[in-house]
Amino acid sequence: MFTVFNTGVGRRNRRFRRLTCEPLESRRVLASAVTISEFMANNDDTLVDYYNQTPDWIELHNTSGGNIDLEGWYLTDEPGNLNKWPIPRSTVLYPNQYKIVFASNRDEVAPNSELHADFTLSSSGDYLALVEPDGSTIAWEASPQFPPQFNDVSF
């Protein structure tokens, strides 16, 4: 996709106008009720988990007016493996509610019910997607990858 700019000046210079194109990043319009609303790929002290560590994190948001159970949804950092990490237990998101999933490489539910995915995010840029329970419908993605991230700044 490209944005076209008219670089001419004023109406009188129409014959000297030149069009240039600027490439834009890949975007997809997706219609899912659950999205990734925010994530942090370089967490040093912004959010601490149950283990008193500061892993990467992903925030899920229910944008619908109804309850949504996340059990069976997937998070992935690999475009060729959409079913990489299934959300492991019934986690109901109420309307407009948010849920943090730590990308800690732990693959577990912590004793305080925190969710920990089996991958981490690269601060230099990485693929990230939320996939619906059918295992193939992408609800949200950063493709081909999100841009490089700054320390303790969410995207």
What are 91-109's pLDDT values in tens digits? 999 999 999 999 999 999 9
Amino acid 32: pLDDT:
80
* 1 against 81, higher pLDDT: 81
Distance in angstroms between the alpha carbons of the first and the last residue of the chain:
22
**Mean per-residue pLDDT, 72-76:** 97
Sign of the torsion angle spanned by Cα atoms 54, 60, 61, 66? negative
CA-CA-CA-CA torsion for 120, 122, 125, 127, nearest 10 degrees? -20
What are 124-151's pLDDT values in tens digits? 999 999 999 999 999 999 999 999 999 9
Q: What residue type is assigned to position 2 of the chain? A: F
Helix (H) or strand (E) holding 103, with range, is strand 98-103
Per-residue pLDDT at 37 exceeds 60: yes
Q: Report pTM.
A: 0.79
Sequence-distant (6+) residues with CB within 8 A of 85 are 74, 75, 76, 107, 117, 118, 119
